[in-house]
């Protein structure tokens, strides 16, 4: 069988269309593995576990997402994802809200890390002033980020997600995802209306006429 050298912990995330259709993460560590190596993969959307061989996982699970326009993104696995994510909700260049997405602890191992409401996670909304350690550096590097992505201007509505890294005494926040495609939320209708007003303001600033009335 083929032999693969795994350098570090890893995460794989596949996105297709308007939603994440596949999202697995697993830690390997620094060791040599083969197609027969047993792995345990955790579905990030609902904490569902799959135990299989590495060969089956790559051939049966990963390969189907490489057809047509599918993509697989190889990402470093950050163990503090178990503490949740920090999501910035933006209208253009303005951070309108910050959402702390706290996963539900499904057992004593703390392996569950899904930040989805359907998986029992809690979403705590606050203003950007409550998270200066995330918001201020984000503003500082926003122009560089736009340049690296080849974008002249940010979208009227988009999000940026961060995961904690390091120790509790020396925490940094790693940008894990930028999304302008799937930006919905299921709670806080008043905040949704406020956010819609910010988006309308941003569209008017860009001379784009909104199609609906608020």
Checking if the pLDDT of 188 tops 80, the result is no
22 plus 88 within the same structural domain: no
In a domain, 210, yes or no: no
10 plus 109 within the same structural domain: no
121 plus 181 within the same structural domain: yes
68 plus 87 within the same structural domain: no
The residues, ordered by sequence, that sit 6+ positions from 201 with a Cβ below 8 Å of its Cβ are 91
84 plus 189 within the same structural domain: yes
72 plus 144 within the same structural domain: no
d(CA 154, CA 146): 7
Lowest mean pLDDT among 7-16, 32-41, 103-112, 141-150: 7-16
170 plus 123 within the same structural domain: yes
Query: Final residue of a domain: which of 47, 76, 105?
Result: 76
Domain that holds residue 24: 3-76
pLDDT digit string (tens) for 13-59? 444 444 443 344 445 556 677 888 888 777 766 777 788 898 888 88
State the total domains in the chain: 2
67 plus 132 within the same structural domain: no
Checking if the pLDDT of 69 tops 70, the result is yes
In a domain, 21, yes or no: yes
The arithmetic mean of pLDDT across residues 199-210, rounded, is 74
10 plus 70 within the same structural domain: yes
Query: Final residue of a domain: which of 76, 99, 122?
Result: 76
In a domain, 214, yes or no: no
- CATH number for the domain that contains residue 169: 3.30.470.20
In a domain, 212, yes or no: no
26 plus 108 within the same structural domain: no
Please give the distance of CA 39 from its chain centroid, rounded to a whole number: 23
112 plus 84 within the same structural domain: yes
Query: Final residue of a domain: which of 50, 76, 102?
Result: 76
Report the predicted TM-score, pTM, of the whole model to 2 decimal places: 0.69
109 plus 28 within the same structural domain: no
């Amino acid at each position: 069988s083929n032999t693969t050298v795994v350098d570090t912990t890893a995460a794989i995330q596949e996105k297709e269309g308007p939603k994440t259709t596949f999202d697995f993460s697993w830690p390997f560590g620094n060791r040599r593995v083969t197609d027969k190596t047993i792995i345990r993969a955790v579905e990030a959307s609902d904490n569902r576990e799959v135990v299989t061989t590495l060969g089956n996982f790559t051939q049966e699970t990963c390969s189907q997402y490489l057809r047509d326009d599918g993509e697989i993104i190889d990402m470093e696995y950050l163990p503090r994802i178990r503490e949740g994510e920090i999501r910035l909700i933006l209208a253009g260049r303005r951070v309108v809200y910050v959402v702390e997405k706290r996963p539900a602890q499904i057992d004593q191992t703390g392996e569950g890390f899904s930040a989805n409401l359907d998986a029992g996670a809690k979403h705590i909304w606050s203003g950007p002033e409550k998270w200066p350690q995330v918001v201020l550096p984000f503003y500082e590097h926003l122009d560089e980020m736009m340049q690296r992505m080849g974008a002249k201007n940010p979208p009227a509505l988009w999000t940026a997600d961060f995961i904690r890294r390091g120790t509790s005494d020396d925490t940094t926040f790693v940008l894990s995802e930028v999304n302008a495609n799937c930006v919905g939320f299921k709670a806080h209708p008043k905040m949704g209306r406020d956010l819609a007003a910010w988006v309308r303001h941003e569209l008017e600033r860009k001379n784009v006429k909104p199609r609906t009335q608020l």
